[in-house]
């Protein structure tokens, strides 16, 4: 059985680790890139490519990213390696599904989304990284075109729910929550990982 390496966005780390344990994927190893790359999405393809270059041969490699704002550049890079990623434009699609995200966007295009990870790290990734802690007036600059905050929750957690409400208040946005669970993250990983259990080395080994 070939080992499997998942190169993932740090925002999916906790959930992927839970799924690895739940599915008893003993041949799967996870390596994560910093979640704050999403503030500079043009850097994501190069960061993933560096991980691919450092990876050893004789294993199946999966990339747990959506397009994540790279404008197709991530897919173009992955195509050269023959490596597959999660479906969808971003992790919101992975959790909520593309049809639900399309409906939410159509109802209110000016929507800012949070997941469990983003709620837990809101202060660091939004308030600190965007400079709002030093310059509160930047809230209007970054979020002036938004009207609501939608929390796409993976777990029913009253503490995270309260934190998400506080985030909406801090940004001056209306608040909504939608429970998604893990959505298609598990089904996508099962589809991408489990065929490797029966494939032979020549079929699944990627090459530079």
pLDDT, averaged across the chain: 90
Confidence bin at 207 (pLDDT 50/70/90): very low
> What is the rounded end-to-end Cα distance, in angstroms, of the chain?
22
Residues near 119 by beta carbon (within 8 Å), at least 6 away in sequence:
151, 160, 163, 164, 167
Q: What is the pLDDT of residue 38?
A: 86
- The tens digit of pLDDT for each residue in 138-172 reads 999 999 999 999 999 999 999 999 999 999 999 99
Confidence bin at 208 (pLDDT 50/70/90): very low
According to DSSP, the residues that pair with 178 across neighbouring strands are 152
pLDDT exceeds cutoff 60 at 8:
yes
pTM above threshold 0.85:
no
**Contact 60/28 with Cβ under 8 angstroms?**
no
Distance (Å) of CA 17 to CA 32, 54, 58, 121, 148:
11, 22, 22, 18, 31
**Contact 111/149 with Cβ under 8 angstroms?**
yes
Give the strands of the sheet with 28-33, arranged side by side.
28-33, 4-9, 60-64, 84-85
Query: Cα–Cα distance between 22 and 183 in angstroms, integer?
Result: 15
- Kindly state the tokens that stand for 15: 């959930």
**CATH 3.40.50 is the classification of domain 4-90+184-204:** yes
Q: How do the domains of the chain map onto residue ranges?
A: 4-90+184-204, 98-179
């Amino acid at each position: 059985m070939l080992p499997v390496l998942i190169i993932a966005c740090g925002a999916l780390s906790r959930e992927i680790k839970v799924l690895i344990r739940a599915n008893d994927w003993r041949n799967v190893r996870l390596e994560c890139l910093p979640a704050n790359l999403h503030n500079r999405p043009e850097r994501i393809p190069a960061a993933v490519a560096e991980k691919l270059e450092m990876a050893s041969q004789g294993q199946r490699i999966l990339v747990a990213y959506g397009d994540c704002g790279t404008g197709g550049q991530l897919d173009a890079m992955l195509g050269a390696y023959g490596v597959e990623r999660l479906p969808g434009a971003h992790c919101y699609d992975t959790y909520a599904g593309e049809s639900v995200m399309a409906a939410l966007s159509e109802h209110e295009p000016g929507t800012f989304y949070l997941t469990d990870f983003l709620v837990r790290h809101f202060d660091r990734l939004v308030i600190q990284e965007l400079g709002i802690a030093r310059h509160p007036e930047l809230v209007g600059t970054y979020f002036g075109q938004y009207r609501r905050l939608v929390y796409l929750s993976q777990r029913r957690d009253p503490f995270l729910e309260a934190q998400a409400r506080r985030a909406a208040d801090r940004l001056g946005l209306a608040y909504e929550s939608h429970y998604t669970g893990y959505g298609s993250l598990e089904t996508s990983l099962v589809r991408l990982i489990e065929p490797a259990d029966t494939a032979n080395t020549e079929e699944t080994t990627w090459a530079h």
